[in-house]
Amino acid sequence: MSRYGKIAFTVLIFLICLQLGFSQLPSDQISTMSRVYEMIKNDTGTLFVWNNVTKDSSPCSWKGVFCTPDNSSIIKLSFPLFSISGSEFLPVICQIGTLESLDLSDNSLSSIPAGFITNCGEISGLKLLNFSSNKLVGSLPEFNGFGMLEHLDFSQNSLTGEINSQFIGLDSLKILNLSKNNFNGSVPTNLGKLSLLEELQLSSNKFTGGIPSQIIKYGNLGLIDLSVNKLSGMIPDEFGGLSKLKILILSLNNLSGGIPKSLSNITTLLRFAANQNNFRETIPAGITSYLRSLDLSYNKLSGTIPSDLLAGTNLQSIDLSYNKLEGSIPANISTRLFRLRLGGNSLNGTLPGESMGSLTKLTYLELDNNSLIGSIPPEIGMCTNLALLNLAQNRLTGPLPPSLGKLINLQVLNLQSNNFVGEIPIQITMLHGLQRIKISWNSLNGSIPDLISNLQNLANLDLQGNGLRGSIPNSIGTLDNLLELQLGKNQLSGHIPAMPQNLQIALNLSNNLFEGYIPGTLSRLTSLEVLDLSNNRFSGKIPEFLTKMTTLTQLDLANNQLSGAVPQFGNFVHVDTDGNNDLMNTTRNPPPASQRKRKSVASDAVVAAAAAAAVIAAGLLTMISLLISRRYYRINDEHLNSGEETSQLQVVQEKLLTANSIHRSTIDFSKAMEAVANPSNIFLKSRFSTYYKAVMPSGASYFVKKLNLE
């Protein structure tokens, strides 16, 4: 470049910068934003977000206001979490003719004025409208105009009615999100130009009828989420023609029939979730050829698992739990897999040991509630990323392999209700991340390892129903995070040490060989819900301190050698003292003899706590305990965001509900009572309790525990 050229270029840059320095918003936009300033200030009061600016300053400097680089016009308004409830300012905002994006999510708006639709519909460049997470009610208006609108989000409101022609004029629409409302009627198909729509999110509404095959006309769709509705019928075979589809979510409907093989033709499909429907028939081969994530759990699928199903090149997560599948687990398993759930079927055969040796990324393995035989292969130790191992309720035999001690990331170990023999491997006590151990109802012998104290993160320890001998190690008292201890139905004896002071769910020492006085160290357990000392040889008086354990809901002292008077307990404690012949003044009615010997007093969920007590069924006392869990030991990831791929979430969330707990804000006790009244909500029955699933208005899932006192 010549000398004169350089000078000319420098002058040009100077003039541009000079122009930028003097650029300002047009007077009409300044006036409009001044009005918006006053209207939002009057609406939000002390929560006003612009308290640190004056309405005379340039709106381009205000929070949530975005202008062009030269500050000559406003192009974006982003007001999430502004505490706005009044909607009078909305038509005023639409007087900004250069607006391209308007985000009003996470406020408290309850309505949209007609003037907003009229004014904003005339903005030629408006591309995004986001009203998600407000309090909008009523039906959606007709979106006349809005010719350039690409992204429309009304999710998480309380909108109702049918979707008919409201969006028919949105010729540029690419993303439509109406999830988490109360829309009904049929799934809409009049959604702008057929060739442009990329994302259709209609989950958590009340849409009925079948899935319209007309959706195939939207050939650019990459995401379809119709989950949590009331849809019925079959998946249209035509879906196989959606050549750009990446995510298809149809979970929690009433869909039936089979899984169309045509889905295996979609080379772009990464995630397919259709869990909790009524699908039958067999799983088609080839369906995981391109998938990363497949969830068909909680259906009625039958037959064997196709030999290629677990071997998809890209497959990372597969969930076929709680179907009617049979046969053996295929030996060919993708080495990229980090989640494998096959529990709750009728699978047989042995664990594929050779395959397990190569599953170094496997994080969640759940094969519970099947009919698997043989032993745990030593190759399990190669799965060093395992956080959850659930082989409960099978027919597995042999000793527990020492290679379990190589699972350095393990948080949950559930091997209950098998036929394991031998001692508890000392190597397990080296797994410092363990939060839950459940090895109950096997044929283990030997003693409880003294090194159990290494497991300082342990919250639940269940060793009941074995043949363990000796005494409880003194070191168990150092497990400060322990909430539940189940040692019933063993052959334990000797001194009962001081228990962890934070025990809250249950302490079960029943059906052992303990004798002597009930130890006074139990008085330290000031947060305990359930104490079971039944079917031992305890003698002496019932200690008075037990009456001062105000959190107790169940106290079982049956079938011991106790004597003296029964002290007075609170009204909300169920006390069983039957089978102590020398007790006097027993004022409580014991349960029938058939219920005196009990296997367990524990919850079968991850975490439980007393939350309320209610009198139901003609005066029967029922304690309600809310259990923070999704499904037994299931990871809390059943409802991933539509755009989310497989993610590795925390296995156990040890949160206890107490009278002062912040979690109580999410609990609707009337919903809990409704769940108990409906037998269809029964999730699990034990001798002591029945567990009902309850879904709160917030969408959170809990279990409600009803004591079986009849």
Phi, psi of 38 (to 5 degrees): -65, -40
Provide the pLDDT for residue 661.
Answer: 35
User: What DSSP character marks residue 675?
Assistant: H
Distance CA 198, CA 215 (A): 11
> Which amino acid is located at 17 in the chain?
C
* Least confident window among 148-152, 327-331, 589-593, 604-608: 604-608
Give the residues across from 574 on adjacent strands. Answer: 554
**Strand duo 74-78 + 65-67: pairing:** antiparallel
Phi, psi of 517 (to 5 degrees): -70, 155
* Least confident window among 104-113, 225-234, 247-256, 682-691: 682-691
Query: Where on the phi/psi map is residue 678: left (φ > 0), alpha (ψ -120 to 50), or beta?
Result: beta
The answer as to whether 57 is a domain residue is no
Q: Are 50 and 62 in contact (CB under 8 A)?
A: yes
pLDDT surpassing 90 at residue 220: yes
> Considering the chain, what is the average pLDDT of its residues?
85
Strand 346-347: give its sheet, edge to edge: 302-304, 324-327, 346-347
Distance CA 700, CA 667 (A): 9
Q: What contacts 685, CB < 8 A, 6 or more positions away?
A: 691
Give the residues across from 413 on adjacent strands. Answer: 389, 437
Q: Are 198 and 220 in contact (CB under 8 A)?
A: yes
Q: What contacts 445, CB < 8 A, 6 or more positions away?
A: 421, 422, 423, 466, 467, 468, 469
The answer as to whether 313 is a domain residue is no
Distance CA 34, CA 41 (A): 11
Task: Tell me which residue of 407, 439, 406, 434 sits closest to 424, measured CA to CA.
Answer: 439
Provide the pLDDT for residue 88.
Answer: 94
Phi, psi of 126 (to 5 degrees): -70, 120
The answer as to whether 301 is a domain residue is no
For 25-60, how does the pLDDT look when each residue is reduced to its tens digit (9 = 90+)? 999 999 999 999 999 999 988 888 998 888 778 999
634: its two tokens: 């299931």
**Confidence tier at 684 by pLDDT (50, 70, 90):** low
The answer as to whether 76 is a domain residue is no
pLDDT surpassing 90 at residue 664: no
Provide the pLDDT for residue 516.
Answer: 96
Query: How far is the CA of 705 from the CAs of 26, 575, 627, 710, in angstroms?
Result: 64, 18, 8, 15
For 448-478, how does the pLDDT look when each residue is reduced to its tens digit (9 = 90+)? 999 999 999 999 999 999 999 999 999 999 9
The answer as to whether 347 is a domain residue is no
pLDDT surpassing 90 at residue 625: no
pLDDT surpassing 70 at residue 14: no
Can you tell me which residue has the tokens 């009610």? 137
Q: What percent of the chain has pLDDT over 70?
A: 79
Q: Are 160 and 139 in contact (CB under 8 A)?
A: yes
- Name the 3-class secondary structure at 213: helix
Distance CA 412, CA 73 (A): 57
Q: What percent of the chain has pLDDT over 90?
A: 73
**Total count of domains within the chain:** 1
pLDDT surpassing 90 at residue 636: no
Give, for 8, the enclosing helix (H) or strand (E): helix 3-22
Beta strands in 267-375 (DSSP E): 271-273, 278-279, 293-295, 302-304, 317-319, 324-327, 339-341, 346-347, 364-366
- DSSP letters, 382-429, are G-TT-SEEE--SS--EEEPPGGGGG-TT--EEE--SSEEEEPPPGGGG
The answer as to whether 273 is a domain residue is no
Q: Are 87 and 111 in contact (CB under 8 A)?
A: yes
Instruction: State the first-to-last Cα distance of the chain, in angstroms, to the nearest integer.
Output: 97
The answer as to whether 686 is a domain residue is yes
> Which amino acid is located at 389 in the chain?
L
Query: How far is the CA of 232 from the CAs of 176, 212, 282, 607, in angstroms?
Result: 22, 11, 19, 35
CB atoms within 10 A of CB 165: 10
Q: What is the mean pLDDT of residues 626-632?
A: 35
483: its two tokens: 């909430």
Provide the pLDDT for residue 594.
Answer: 44
**Confidence tier at 340 by pLDDT (50, 70, 90):** very high
**Confidence tier at 438 by pLDDT (50, 70, 90):** very high
pLDDT surpassing 70 at residue 136: yes
The answer as to whether 460 is a domain residue is no
* Domain with 643 in it: 610-707
